[in-house]
Amino acid sequence: MKITSIRVVQPQSSTMPKGWRGTMGQIVVAIDTDAGLTGYGIGGGGAAAIHVVQQELAPLLLGEDAAPVEELWERMYRTTLAYGRKGLAIMAISGVDLALWDLRGKAAGLSVAQVLSPSSAVDVAAYFTVGLAADNSIEGTERALAEGYNAIKLGVGGLSLPQDTQRLLEGVGQVRRRIGGHVALMADAAMAWSDRDLVLELAQSLAEFDLDWLEEPLAADDLDGYAWLAERSPVPIAGGEHEFTARGFADLLARGCHHVYQPDICWCGGLTQLREIYGLGQTHGVRVVPHRGSEVFGLHAVLALEAGVPLAESGRPWMDWVGGRELVAGRARLAPDGPGFGVDLERSMYAQIGGGEK
């Protein structure tokens, strides 16, 4: 199954957010083969990543056998090593890697989840995110409960420390009282804070609310701060959505930076790397909960690779055009359950990637 062409575009959607998530957050990759199969993947990095795919990765892969996905990943990584290792180049590789995994599943007539594990789960619990800083936490909480979610995450990154500490504690406490003790509760700071001592004080106060984790309270590259905080915090510390490759996660694990690791399959290097990161998590006895894990590419991995208690983030509304999954009663499952990742991006945005509607 030889690779005959690689096409890549930046998707356009009326629901795409402003800022980097819209301009840099995703690219669509389509890999065609002489077997008549096309593999689809989504990476990140915007126009810069498209340049990397077209000028560096496509010449490397054209005419090659699509089957040895892991070997092709290493070749792409080494080709971009001088300017890659993390960031845009790895986000570009992610989209290509996922398209190759899509081809692997289609060639075998199996879903990617089945390729990863013949005993993959049928569905997985998902969590719903609401914005505490936007004062919609109670409204969002009511919606989450009505839709059957048993886990809720509060976005608290719009609040400052120490100015908004009391407001944050009151908001989290209000939500905890509403949902009771049987619904899991988390908080996400989105890298908003920089003072690890203030974060520790906050975590000590949050402990009474039984949080499953406090996510990204510090900048992603403050590894010393995370290691210091994780050693002392009574609330588990989560992070990793802005880390890249299993090599990068191995560094975080060696330092003990987090209790919960959150790689994003469309950014961290694709499924080839996410599978290795899951292996690292099992070796170190820590939890892996992929960022945007209920979106179709991550969902296959969560269903197949999680050996403990799987949990999937409910995803982003501007990615709904991708399809391939559904959320029912607070649980995520594949829909439809077809070969590969079970999505046809050619059909949903054929003009964007240069094909014709089927």
Cα distance between residue 8 and residue 53, in whole Å: 7
Q: Both tokens of residue 117?
A: 């594990």
Which ranges of the chain does DSSP label H, i.e. alpha helix?
Answer: 20-23, 46-52, 58-61, 69-79, 88-108, 112-116, 137-146, 165-179, 196-206, 223-232, 245-255, 271-284, 296-305, 345-349
Q: Given the DSSP bridges, would you call strands 331-335 and 324-328 parallel, antiparallel or unpaired?
A: antiparallel
- Residues labelled as active-site residues: 291
Single-letter amino acid, residue 163 = Q
193, 218 Cβ separation under 8 angstroms:
yes
CA nearest 53: which of 98, 107, 103, 14? 98
Q: What is the DSSP letter of 133?
A: T
5: amino acid identity, one letter: S
Distances (CA, A) of 177 to 167, 171, 213, 230, 242: 15, 10, 17, 26, 32
Distance CA 274, CA 266 (A): 10
Q: Can you state the angle between helices 271-284 and 69-79, rounded to 10 degrees?
A: 100
Name the nearest CA neighbour of 20 among 78, 104, 113, 87. Answer: 87
Residue 332 to residue 106: CA distance in whole angstroms: 22
Q: How far apart are the first and last CA of the chain?
A: 22
% helix, strand, coil for the chain, step of 5: 40, 20, 40
**154: which DSSP letter?**
E
